[in-house]
């Protein structure tokens, strides 16, 4: 396999993009990435999108996006792994370049979620759960993650305040991210007193519905000097799945797909958790960030909540998590989230993250997750 590097990133401001179509949003981010890299043609393209047919009645994104990007005739495909679709698109692009198949490959993600009503959006997202045993019984993702939160609180003593601290931290980071959907501070008291969704989770524990896209350009590492920006090397990639229904899992307080994907990425990179300088993880709900941080080995089981409360995951802490604002503040257009995590890591490792820059960052980890942990991708990037 060839070594692979990211040499261009692109992402617009996320939010409710009412006046713009799915293809417009994607093409803007893709052109930003191509301009950042200094390329005008691609060898191939992979597009992460969870369910564009339900959100915007448009499938066949590989053809649509290549056409509107002016890259007609290249191999272009949409890939799907629920909310981990973006992470999977990045892995497929990485494998394409590493194999020697193509030299310049775009990994992108897109979801336009606000063109349908709340009930239809809830249904679209619920298709990432086990529809037979969860979805048709009326269980939504807030309910599934609430069960995980209750189990974690009962087993480890995780507190309501520790859950709220995740939202407080990520919203603070998001105020420094000009592309974040919700650039506002919140307080522990505000999170705890916000509207109840599924006990113990409130509205400010939940990631929002978002329109947005993100894109990155990958090339062989030995070609980096031909491009505009310094490369960031992809040194680890992991992908794993788990039982999709919660009732089939041995332990609701951990995520085995995250652990397995992380072990693959650590082995490939010849790194381990102690070598990670910052991480972008899938905080679709506040409890998710806590469980993921433990499943990645960044903290011992049961210590993720106290670590957030103590400031260990804040900017300037021992291991900053979600410097971008995470899904909670930056937003969560489900197919784009995994690629946006790579955008953030690349900018951090290039020293381009502005006020939220993690000092001395050289190794970053991105963890993207589908559903309630039915799938997960982990990637590790390093300064070249």
State the catalytic residues.
83, 332
Chain center to CA of 158? 24
- Main-chain phi, psi angles of 213, to 5 degrees: -145, 165
First and final C-alpha spacing in the chain: 17
- Token pair 């010849």 is at which residue? 270
For residues 236 and 274, what is the distance between their CA atoms, to the nearest angstrom?
A: 15
Of 302, 377, 310, whose CA–CA distance to 85 is shortest?
377
What percent of the chain is helix, strand and coil (3-state, nearest 5)? 40, 20, 40
Q: Which residues are within 8 A (CB) of 24 and not within 5 positions of it... i.e. 6 or more apart?
A: none
Between the CA of residue 140 and those of 122, 198, 227, what are the distances in Å?
7, 9, 45
């Amino acid at each position: 396999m060839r070594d692979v590097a990211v040499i261009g990133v692109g992402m617009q401001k996320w939010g409710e993009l009412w006046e713009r179509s799915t293809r417009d949003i994607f093409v803007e981010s893709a052109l930003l990435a191509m301009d950042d890299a200094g390329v005008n043609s691609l060898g191939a393209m992979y597009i992460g999108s969870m369910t564009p047919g339900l959100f915007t009645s448009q499938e066949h994104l590989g053809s649509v996006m290549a056409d509107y990007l002016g890259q007609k005739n290249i191999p272009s495909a949409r890939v799907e792994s629920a909310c981990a679709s973006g992470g999977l698109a990045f892995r497929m692009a990485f494998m394409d370049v590493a194999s020697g198949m193509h030299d310049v490959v775009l990994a992108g993600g897109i979801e336009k979620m606000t063109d349908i009503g709340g009930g239809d959006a809830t249904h679209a997202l619920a298709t990432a759960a086990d529809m037979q045993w969860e979805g048709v019984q009326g269980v939504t993702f807030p309910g599934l993650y609430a069960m995980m939160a209750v189990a974690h609180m009962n087993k480890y003593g995780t507190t309501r305040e520790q859950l709220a601290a995740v939202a407080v931290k990520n919203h603070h980071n998001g105020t420094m991210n000009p592309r974040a959907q919700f650039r506002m501070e919140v307080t522990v008291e505000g999170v705890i007193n916000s509207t109840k969704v599924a006990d113990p989770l409130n509205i400010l524990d939940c990631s929002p519905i978002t329109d947005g896209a993100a894109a990155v350009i990958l090339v062989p590492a030995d070609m980096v000097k031909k491009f505009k920006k310094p490369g960031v090397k992809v040194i680890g990639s992991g992908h794993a799945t788990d039982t999709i229904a919660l009732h089939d899992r041995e332990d609701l307080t951990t995520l085995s797909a995250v652990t397995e994907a992380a072990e693959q990425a650590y082995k490939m990179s010849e790194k381990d958790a102690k070598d990670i300088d910052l991480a972008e993880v899938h905080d679709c709900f506040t409890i998710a960030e806590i469980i993921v941080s433990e499943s990645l080995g960044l903290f011992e089981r049961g210590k993720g909540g106290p670590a957030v409360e103590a400031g260990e995951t804040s900017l300037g802490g021992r291991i900053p998590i979600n410097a971008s604002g995470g899904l909670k503040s930056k937003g969560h257009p489900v197919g784009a989230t995994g690629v946006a995590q790579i955008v953030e890591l690349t900018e951090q490792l290039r020293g381009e993250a502005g006020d939220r820059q993690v000092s001395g960052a050289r190794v970053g980890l991105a963890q993207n997750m589908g559903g309630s942990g039915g799938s997960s991708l982990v990637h590790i990037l390093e300064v070249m």
